[in-house]
Chains A and B, each alone.
Chain A
Amino acid sequence: MTVRMKIMLVWLSLLMICGSAIAEPFVQGGAIGSQTDDGFNALGPVVEQPIEFPHNTHAGQMGINCMYCHTYARRSAVSGIPRLDKCMGCHKLIESVKDKPRIKKLFEYWEKKQAIPWKKVHDLPDFVRFNHERHIQRFYFREDRPVREVCGYCHGDVASMTTARRVKALSMGWCVSCHQKDHLENVSTTKTSNGPNDCWQCHK
């Protein structure tokens, strides 16, 4: 290698460093090394639940709105797990599936008046406050997007799963990547706005 070539090489790499600095001073899609093809997919572990709840039957085949069961999502920071009497409300009346083992388990809990110890699948760190209400109000009610898209953006296509499994990284970079997008303010305008960029909006 000649001196000249070495010099060229150095200049070239230097230019590349500068280039990356100018264009984008951060790396998208998870910490370096943990990125997948589309950026943010990060499959969580399989979580064993007390009852293997078939989301695919309820939300998929029957097309029940997510918020029919996760009813707190539109009025509270947490979406909450449906209360037991909500399950019973329907299943008392559905004779056809009463003998299935999962439903039997459900009835056992109901008889004992014991809440089902569901495990958290999407558990953010304790210093983060994520508000379901604001996101649902903004995208489901105001922007009128389909519920499976609104919920699915973070939770994945739960309608195709049995028990839910985390499919997104839920990392800060991921949150920010969406907050930073220009979202339409509502269906009828072209005005856009970003999500909040203030630390204290999400960190407590």
Chain B
Amino acid sequence: MMKKSHTLALFNDFEEAGQAIRDLKAVSLPGFRMEDVVIKSPIEHPELSEMLGDRPVYVQWFTLGGVLVGPLTGLILVASAQANFLLQIRGGRPVVPVPPDMVLTYEFFILSGVLMTVLGCFIGWKLPGRRSPLYNAKVSEDKIGLLIKADPLVIPKINEILARHKPIEIMGEDRR
């Protein structure tokens, strides 16, 4: 299989980019799949993303894991630390008192939830990572970019489709 190549088209607004995606979806080209289309935009645009098909997000599962494991670990850590050999009676309370441990468990619950969520997010982002081969600073300003990965052979065809929707610019790897 040949090494795939990229192309990046910049559009002025979401509608034009949407049209381009619709067109891309309609055609069937060898060596090009819809999964290889990536939108790069300055803001989030869920409708546009939905057009690309179902792209699942796993972050919630990390959160779930975090909020389950965190409190359990926290509680066991706290309680077993209280019950170690140098255990100390304090203020007439039991050595392993429940209310304070609950407070700490709660904090552990949130902390590990947050940590795991962020962790999951970064994994989902595939960050930190290298930049993909094609990038234009304008996508962080006001342009919408479509990054398409495909066989080098079909790239011209794809560019053609993209060009229909008044892109400001189409960048290819060879042109860099």
A residues 1-41 touching B (CB-CB < 8 Å): 3, 6-7, 10-11, 14, 17-18, 21-22, 25-26
B123 touches A7 (CB 8 A): yes
Task: Tell me the interface secondary structure of chain A in the complex.
Answer: helix
**How many Å from the CB of A23 to the closest CB on chain B?**
9
Judge if A180 is at the interface, Cβ distance under 8 Å. yes
**How many Å from the CB of B104 to the closest CB on chain A?**
13
CB neighbours of A197 from chain B (8 A): 85-87
Least CB separation from A6: chain B residue = B123
B65 touches A11 (CB 8 A): yes
A21 CA to B78 CA, complexed, in Å: 9
B86 touches A176 (CB 8 A): yes
The answer to whether A25 and B123 touch (CB under 8 A), given A14-B69, A180-B85, A197-B85, is no
Interface size class, chain A: 10 to 19
A19 CA to B125 CA, complexed, in Å: 29
Quick one: which of A11, A25, A199 contacts B77, CB cutoff 8 A?
A25
The answer to whether A18 and B73 touch (CB under 8 A), given A7-B58, A11-B65, A25-B80, is yes
Query: Interface centre among B69, B76, B81, B123, by most A CB within 10 Å?
Result: B123
Q: Spell out A's residues near B (CB within 8 Å).
A: 3, 6-7, 10-11, 14, 17-18, 21-22, 25-26, 176, 179-180, 194, 197, 199
7 sample A-B contacts, Cβ–Cβ < 8 Å, listed by A number: A10-B62, A10-B116, A10-B119, A10-B123, A21-B73, A25-B81, A197-B87
**Chain B: interface residue total (CB-CB under 8 A):** 20
**How many Å from the CB of A145 to the closest CB on chain B?**
22
Least CB separation from A194: chain B residue = B85
Task: Tell me the interface secondary structure of chain B in the complex.
Answer: helix
A185 CA to B119 CA, complexed, in Å: 53
CB neighbours of A176 from chain B (8 A): 85-86
Judge if B124 is at the interface, Cβ distance under 8 Å. yes
B124 touches A3 (CB 8 A): yes
CB neighbours of B81 from chain A (8 A): 25
Least CB separation from B89: chain A residue = A198
Judge if B84 is at the interface, Cβ distance under 8 Å. yes
A6 CA to B129 CA, complexed, in Å: 13
CB neighbours of B58 from chain A (8 A): 3, 7
Judge if B88 is at the interface, Cβ distance under 8 Å. yes
